Amino acid sequence: MTPSPIRPALIVFDLDGTLLDTHTDLVESLNHTIAALGLEPVSYDDLTHLVGHGARVMIERACRLRGHPLESNALPPLVERFVIHYAGNMPGRTEPYPGLVAAMDRLKSAGYRLAVCTNKMESLALGLIEKLDLASYFDAITGGDSFPVRKPDARHLTGTIDRAGGDIARTVMIGDSINDIAVARNAGVPSIAVPFGYSDVPVSNLDPDMVITHYDELTPDLVERLLREYAVKVAV
């Protein structure tokens, strides 16, 4: 009997701090938002403690950081203010991290599928990726409002895998924060961490299965090695 061909792997990327360096535009839109409350601006150094759970939580955390905790009914107009400013200035100064596009070309040439799983609103994620002419690379792009749950809930990642037509046994998650490593762990897929994003601790402390420091390292050979090693680890 002829053995079944190996199904191409699916590589799922986080967005902010993983695929794209969005920090300048996030800070500008966040400061535009909290300026409506007369609050002092936040800085890039603050960003690592603010991002990862979407605009709503980022605004809440920024206000708390500035000594201005919010009532829940104060959030909707602030979120709207953020979204209007952020969407209206896309892509701003956001750009892919060095080596990313070449890495995605390598993976696509090898037949791999690619997807995005982010806690950013889906409309903002899709709009940004389209503005940067990167949408054609991805078989699925899901955001924090695509499902009833979001990272680190495993169902955000498994839902993304389903939309991308992937196989959970042939999936790798790449991210820069605890949410990304945790959602991979919760879903039972191997994780790769990148250290150039917005984590407030060294990514090695998050216990990913692998760390890469540049997208030049992201090759089909590396992905296949990680999948083999992970399969052995979970079988023990």
Catalytic residues: 14
Task: Output the 3-class SS for the chain.
Answer: CCCCCCCCCEEEECCECCCEECHHHHHHHHHHHHHHHCCCCCCHHHHCCCCCCCHHHHHHHHHHHCCCCCCHHHHHHHHHHHHHHHHHCCCCCCEECCCHHHHHHHHHHCCCEEEEECCCCHHHHHHHHHHCCCHHHCCEEECCCCCCCCCCCHHHHHHHHHHHCCCHHHEEEEECCHHHHHHHHHHCCCEEECCCCCCCCCHHHHCCCEECCCHHHCCHHHHHHHHHHHHHHHHC
